[in-house]
Amino acid sequence: MIGKLQCVVLDCPDVLELADFYRELLGGTVNHPDRRWSIDDDFATLHTESGLVLAFQRVDDFRRPRWPDPAHPQHFHLDIEVEDLDQAQARVVHLGGTLLHADPRGWHVLADPAGHPFCLLG
């Protein structure tokens, strides 16, 4: 095991609108204080009663998915918490992943072998 799933992040045009939608659907608390995330106009969270955390990330030029149209794909990524960011990145790359971006604030964006992005968080 390299890490544990921290949350699922959904791209959207309005973070609070989508967080409130999922709160009504799943229950829980929008923007519950949590040291792992900075909440602002571009990022919101939903801590569900089951323990699952969904996060919502604003994208300026968001294109609505049109399932199953591959020209308008689904928009989400996984955040995976790891103990050692560099070691985890090396293991992911060894497994066939690709580093896309190393953010100096403490996370690395990688892609799985099929190109789906996900974040490793130290």
Mean pLDDT throughout 88-107?
A: 94
pTM for this predicted structure:
0.83
**What distances in angstroms separate CA 102 from CA 12, 17, 68, 83, 99, one per listed residue?**
23, 30, 32, 16, 8
pLDDT, tens only, 60-69: 999 888 888 8
pLDDT of residue 113: 85
The domains located in the chain, with CATH, are 7-70 (3.10.180.10), 82-122 (no CATH)
Laid out side by side, the sheet with 98-103 consists of 29-30, 43-47, 53-58, 4-12, 76-81, 117-121, 107-111, 98-103
**Structure confidence at residue 47 as a pLDDT band (50, 70, 90):** very high
